[in-house]
Amino acid sequence: MSGFVPIDLEAAVQAKLRGLAALEHTTGGAVAFAELVSKKLLPARLPAAFVIAGGLVGNGIRRAGGVSVPVTQTVAVVLVQSHAGDPTGEAARAAVWPLEWAAIDLLNGWTPAKGYEEFLFQEDRLQGLGGDGRTGAVACTLTFTTDWTIPRRRA
């Protein structure tokens, strides 16, 4: 075996995003994001980013003497912004747009740890727009993938 051990990608991406001045104090993980969603709340400080490590997709290879499994892992970055006095979310959308590009530029091509391939940007999807009548909010999800291999095991 190679000694490769997968890292906590959620934590690694959070740390990387804190390098963006706008997200220095407002980056969290899946648990924090789920709590806000369940309570229908916006983050206390905006803009905010939440990192959600997605599933793993393996494509195992059987060979004489062992098996290895190349893995693709997805990571989502949910960016949230709002703008008081604009219930449509249009101003929040305009404000978050430069942050989307900054996050894409920061993460695309980044290698999170030894044994991982560079992050590849996959998608930028608007998830929500609008608000409660006072504050327009926007949420968008940036999706990235990285690849790594489960170490070869001998039969």
Q: Number of structural domains, the chain? A: 1
Is residue 120 situated within a structural domain? yes
Does pLDDT of 3 surpass 70?
A: no
Is residue 4 situated within a structural domain? no
Q: Which domain holds residue 15?
A: 9-153
Is residue 133 situated within a structural domain? yes
Q: What is the pLDDT of residues 42-74, one digit of tens each?
A: 888 889 999 999 888 988 777 777 777 889 999
Is residue 2 situated within a structural domain? no
| Beta strands 48-58; 27-29: pairing state | parallel
Q: How far apart are CA 144 and CA 77, in angstroms?
A: 8
The token pair that represents 137 in the structure block: 């909010």
pLDDT band at 5 (very low <50, low <70, confident <90, very high): confident
CATH code, domain with 28: 3.30.2000.10
Is residue 25 situated within a structural domain? yes
Q: How far apart are CA 67 and CA 89, in angstroms?
A: 50
Q: What is the rounded end-to-end Cα distance, in angstroms, of the chain?
A: 12
pLDDT band at 77 (very low <50, low <70, confident <90, very high): very high
Give the residue carrying structure tokens 């001998």: 154
pLDDT band at 1 (very low <50, low <70, confident <90, very high): very low
